[in-house]
Amino acid sequence: MSFRQKKNFPVTTITPDFPKKYFKLIVYIPFGVLEVTKIENEPFNGSLQIIEGKLYLGDRLTVFDYHQEGYLEKFLAGEYLSIDESGKLTMRSHPHLGFNVESPTGPWGEGAFTYNGESDFQLCGDNLIGFRSNCTGAFRIAIAYTEIL
């Protein structure tokens, strides 16, 4: 009888699927933040944060898990980025598919953030983030997803 068996330690057998099974979160679901990189095609650097379930341009970062299936989950919160009926980006209790992060091209591992292949995001007059919405005082913006390494 081995030491592990005497002490009731679990015995792990290393199989070919071991890396996929135990390191899936690290390999397939990188953590990151959403940032505004352009306003009306002019360079800009601004953080996007969740406040009361809505996505705003703010002064703090909200960390997300990007899932290659096409959705973002707020880190350790069980809430998912979504787009409501008016075109505003909000949080919901279930995944909303269609979000994509292009392959990182920037020096900090950032990739363009799109929804159904489109990047028609807006900064509304109240600092909410919209997608093809009719919010007042809107400016066109570009959003990037930057991985946290």
Percent with pLDDT over 90 in the chain: 60
**58, pLDDT greater than 80:** yes
If we measure between CA atoms, which residue out of 119, 85, 86, 90 comes closest to residue 102?
119
Domains in the chain: boundaries: 29-147
pLDDT band at 76 (very low <50, low <70, confident <90, very high): confident
- pTM of the predicted model, to two decimals? 0.76
Q: What is the mean pLDDT of the segment spanning 46-50? A: 94
pLDDT at residue number 77: 86
Q: What is the mean pLDDT of the segment spanning 122-147? A: 94
pLDDT at residue number 34: 94
**137, pLDDT greater than 70:** yes
**27, pLDDT greater than 60:** no
Q: What is the mean pLDDT of the segment spanning 44-49? A: 93
pLDDT band at 147 (very low <50, low <70, confident <90, very high): confident
pLDDT at residue number 105: 64
Class of domain 29-147: mainly beta
Tell me how far CA of residue 62 lies from CA of 2, 8, 23, 33, 116, in angstroms. 47, 41, 23, 6, 22
Residues 95/71, Cβ–Cβ less than 8 Å: yes
Rounded Cα distance between 56 and 95, Å, is 19
pLDDT band at 135 (very low <50, low <70, confident <90, very high): very high
| pLDDT tens sequence across 9-25 | 344 444 555 444 444 43
pLDDT at residue number 16: 52
Residues 62/73, Cβ–Cβ less than 8 Å: no
